[in-house]
Amino acid sequence: MEASLQPSANPDASLQLVLFVDKRPISNERIRQIRHRLKELAADSTYPYELQVVDVSEQPHLAENFKLVATPSLIKIHPAPRQVLAGTNLVAQLENWWSRWQRSIEDYLTNLATVDRSNGDKVQIQSIAHSAELLKLSDEIFQLRREKEELQAQLQFKDQIIAILAHDLRNPLTTLSIALETLEMGLCREVKHPRLTPELLGQMVQQARTQARSLDRLITDILQVARERGAELRIQPQQIDLGQLCLEVIDRLHEQFQAKSHQIHTDIPSDLPSVYADPERIRQVLVNLLDNAIKYTPANGKINVAILHRTTQKVQVSICDTGPGIPSDNQQHIFGDRFRLQRDQAMEGYGIGLALCKRIVQAHYGQIWVDSEPNHGSCFHFILPVYHSLQALKN
């Protein structure tokens, strides 16, 4: 920020101007042109001017305060009313308005002379030259506000983690505890509990194993988000067979599909191109989306997994369920940190998992979205780049 001034014993009798510029190379030339023309105009004028030059990148709060939409912009701040000139032809606009601005000072001084200065209605207009310290303080206030917002966000995130630990860990732990107690009764008191057949005991073991995996995944997600919150998500992309990766994840979740008698349909072409992605990160996305599909699809329902080679540059994965669907006004929010549908407040649901999926896909320069209608299921889609296309860009 710098000031270029014509001296004035009475700041009320001067035209006070602020010029907002950016760091483009052409800005220096425009500043020179405006200063030169102001000096020429002031030489033949009754009233002097005061000019303040502000770089919007250094003082963004001032640009926000004046509601600027473009640079360069020249603002007359005194006498009132405020007036903004913007565009590449500022010199021509300045020439057009100069005589009227001079008359506005004369009108202001005439009106000022009729006002009783003791009535307290008059607010002294300080010279811009003397307001540098005030602007500096404004900068410091702006920085302090940003730091406060960051600290508040950290506190909110801590509260979210506590809420996750208090709620989402309770459900699988309760289920796991019941399964283990049932197993204990079956092993120690088989005579008193004839209903605990080997088949039922097998189901309890399977349920315990499933809940243990659910806990492990939830803890992994929490640690992942906490460790990388506020930082760029690190990925290690390589050439991978996305179709094979999908089939591996489906096989890994086989017991969960069986537990609810889900029918799994896959449409994975054998001639899919390789994608350029981090296999472990994409595995996280697939596990999260398929886990949600299992969770919300009723017993004996269907889950479809399809991969489509959309263009020479992109491959799309779609995971569709036959669950309750998602209201249209919530579909853009479910990828936010810790968002829950109102119906899901009492159960595990769309929590940090989808937010993590979004971060991973975006780190691959891809997209993720959902298509859904209430009572007609949901389809989650995400797009990844084709391997050879990125290699061609590098070459």
* Domains of the chain: residue spans and CATH: 2-126 (3.40.30.10), 143-228 (1.10.287), 238-394 (3.30.565.10)
**Counting runs of H as helices and runs of E as strands, what totals does the chain give?**
11, 12
Chain mean position to CA 211: 32
Q: For position 364, what pLDDT does the model report?
A: 92
Q: For position 276, what pLDDT does the model report?
A: 93
Predicted TM-score (pTM) of the model is 0.48
C-alpha dihedral over 195, 197, 202, 203, to 10 degrees?
-30
Q: Are 270 and 232 in contact (CB under 8 A)?
A: no
297 SS3 class: coil
Whole-angstrom distance, CA of residue 7 vs CA of residue 127: 10
Q: For position 268, what pLDDT does the model report?
A: 95
Q: Which residues of the chain have pLDDT under 70?
A: 1-12, 61, 64-65, 114-139, 157, 159-172, 186-196, 214, 217-218, 220-233, 337-352, 388-395
Q: For position 352, what pLDDT does the model report?
A: 61
Q: For position 124, what pLDDT does the model report?
A: 41
Closest CA to 236 of 383, 395, 356, 364: 364
Q: Are 42 and 154 in contact (CB under 8 A)?
A: no
Q: For position 227, what pLDDT does the model report?
A: 60
